[in-house]
Amino acid sequence: MQMPKPDQSVIERRDTICRDLRNLIADHCVVDSVEGRRAYDADGLSAYRQLPLAVVLPETVEEIAAVMKYCHREGIKVVPRGSGTSLSGGALPLADAILLGLGKFNRILDIDYVNRCVVAQPGVTNLAITHAVQADGFYYAPDPSSQIACSVGGNVAENSGGVHCLKYGLTTNNLLGIELVTIEGEILRLGGKHLDAGDYDLMGVMTGSEGLLGVVSEVTLRILQKPATQRALLVGFDDTGSAAEAVGDVIAAGIIPAGMEMMDGLAINAAEDFANAGYPRGAAALLIIELDGPEIEVNTLIDRVTKVMDSAGASSLKVSNSEEERNLFWAGRKSAFPAVGRISPDYLCMDGTIPRRRLPDMMVRMASLSQKYGLRVANVFHAGDGNLHPLILFDANETGELQRAEDFGADILRACVEMGGVLTGEHGVGVEKRDLMNIQFTEDDLKQQQRLKCAFDADHLLNPGKVFPHLHRCAELGRLHVHRGKMPFPDLPRF
């Protein structure tokens, strides 16, 4: 992965820059020692590492604004970082950029039950929002697997999902407002405790923008009342095609489960070895279907889903009869990544989305790619929305295996796009999928996206080298080809 060539003149000014930063914010908030910076040299995509120019850990929004204003004036790049759990390298530092850590913004500012929202600083963890309101029966719906560690500011940057987003949506659907610091150091509020804003939906654009448009300094999140009951079904199938069809049958029956997960044979056995969750060894595919809501509704829907599964040819079916049992059903799925980690020295976790009906084709394709690259692949899917997480098993100590695994992964993502899907369902593009963007998008598509970037950050100072394979200067992107006074296509009817 090629990152943009570092600007040597900035690197040479490092001492001056650190001194300037210390004049803007408290001394202890600027980290410039090698050991101190080392702690920030990677995010969740740990195959890539880079020491940042300096680490800045502001404590107030005014400090963020001062740092941004300084960097803008001096032409210094900024890489924002929440908890650093990105799986696509969104927070990967650059040698000539300061790393702006939001970890000190860790306070919940307002819990408002009448308006059903929580106002929090961006460094608060996802799970802490639920913890703050659960005693009163509320929770925050988006639940990425990293929710114990990932920050809500990072969730906004990546538009994070989770196993329940089929029913409850992604971050973008649960976000009411943000405070944003622009690269010029301006503090803007978008949205709030009201539902609609009535102007351009810049909050919607900020969500999932991977730190390229601005730094989120506060969030207002919608909270929901916890469902009265949650029950899950564990359903085994002898072939993945029938399992995929069964998922469609549930939706066709008018049922939107809270979560609908699928695992393939290799993942089932690895998870069962790890968690003893009672998964059907030998099944080719496993579905975990969770229903939530009022007890009488959940029980009725469990019956309906059971019938759907029977007609779809399920080979085994269990229904949770207690919270303990439901948690056990999930224990295997939730430990799928470490479980696969036990059967292989290394693995690469991919993330793509396909139309769900193409799942059987995708399984066939993956089997043949697996053979081609000589590497095993285990699959866990958010089946309800077609989001795939193939885990490619490899050994980084074997020469060339990492490269082979990455090539295998890229082929899977190409197949996703070819089948009508997209490159990333919930992990973001970051550096990981940056160079694959032109598979999904034309040059014109990408240029239009970058023009939007220019509206926020004309000098490309925020998180450069992420998301877009080619950086175009804003002046070049803004150029127009107007044939002045010439009437093209004169035969077109004009009334």
Interface of this chain with other proteins, residues 448 to 487, rule: CB under 8 A: 448-449, 451-456, 467, 478, 480, 482-487
**135 interacts with other proteins by CB under 8 A:** no
Size of the site for other proteins (CB under 8 A): 108
**85 interacts with other proteins by CB under 8 A:** no
Cα 487 from Cα 47, distance rounded (Å): 54
Interface of this chain with other proteins, residues 260 to 279, rule: CB under 8 A: none
- The dihedral built from the CA positions of residue 354, 201, 207 and 50, taken in this order, carries a sign that is positive
Q: Pick from 9, 28, 400, 488 the residue near other proteins by CB under 8 A.
A: 488
Please return the burial class of 458, using the count of CB atoms within 10 Å of its CB with bins 0-12, 13-18 and 19+.
middle
**226 interacts with other proteins by CB under 8 A:** yes
Closest CA to 214 of 177, 180, 171: 180
Q: Looking at 48-56, 73-81, 201-209, 325-333, which segment touches other proteins (CB under 8 A)?
A: 201-209
Interface of this chain with other proteins, residues 379 to 398, rule: CB under 8 A: 382, 385-387
Interface of this chain with other proteins, residues 352 to 371, rule: CB under 8 A: 353-357
**238 interacts with other proteins by CB under 8 A:** no
Task: Say how many C-beta atoms besides its own lie within 10 A of residue 26's C-beta.
Answer: 12
Task: Say how many C-beta atoms besides its own lie within 10 A of residue 307's C-beta.
Answer: 12
Question: Up-side HSE of residue 10: CA atoms within 13 Å toward CB?
Answer: 20
- For residue 85, the minimal CB distance to other proteins (Å) is 15
Within 214-279, where are the H helices?
A: 240-252, 265-275
**5 interacts with other proteins by CB under 8 A:** no
Question: Taking CB under 8 A as the rule, which mask of x and - marks residues 326-355 in contact with other proteins?
Answer: ---------------------------xxx
| 239 touches 262 (CB < 8 A) | no
Quote the strand ranges of 294-428, DSSP E. Answer: 316-319, 346-349, 352-353, 377-382, 387-394
Cα 190 from Cα 199, distance rounded (Å): 10
| 237 touches 284 (CB < 8 A) | yes
User: 51 or 452, CB closer to other proteins?
Assistant: 452
- For residue 357, the minimal CB distance to other proteins (Å) is 6
CA 426 to chain centre: 4
- For residue 145, the minimal CB distance to other proteins (Å) is 15
Q: Pick from 33, 199, 321, 322 the residue near other proteins by CB under 8 A.
A: 199
Question: For residue 170, which amino acid is it?
Answer: L
Only one residue has tokens 């070049």, namely 476
User: 235 or 308, CB closer to other proteins?
Assistant: 308
**153 interacts with other proteins by CB under 8 A:** no
Q: Pick from 4, 103, 169, 278 the residue near other proteins by CB under 8 A.
A: 169
Cα 208 from Cα 426, distance rounded (Å): 9
Interface of this chain with other proteins, residues 65 to 84, rule: CB under 8 A: none
Interface of this chain with other proteins, residues 91 to 110, rule: CB under 8 A: none
Cα 34 from Cα 39, distance rounded (Å): 9
Q: Pick from 321, 400, 444, 475 the residue near other proteins by CB under 8 A.
A: 444
- For residue 223, the minimal CB distance to other proteins (Å) is 10
Ramachandran region of residue 84, left (φ > 0), alpha (ψ -120 to 50) or beta?
Answer: left
Question: Taking CB under 8 A as the rule, which mask of x and - marks residues 407-436 in contact with other proteins?
Answer: -------------xxxxxxxxxx---x---
Residues 6+ apart with CB under 8 A from 187: 61, 65, 179, 180, 181, 217
- String of DSSP letters for 430-456: TTTTGGGHHHHS-HHHHHHHHHHHHHH
**228 interacts with other proteins by CB under 8 A:** yes
**296 interacts with other proteins by CB under 8 A:** yes
**256 interacts with other proteins by CB under 8 A:** yes
**173 interacts with other proteins by CB under 8 A:** yes
Q: Looking at 76-84, 119-127, 155-163, 361-369, which segment touches other proteins (CB under 8 A)?
A: 155-163
Q: Looking at 16-24, 69-77, 296-304, 310-318, which segment touches other proteins (CB under 8 A)?
A: 296-304
| 43 touches 81 (CB < 8 A) | yes
Interface of this chain with other proteins, residues 11 to 40, rule: CB under 8 A: none
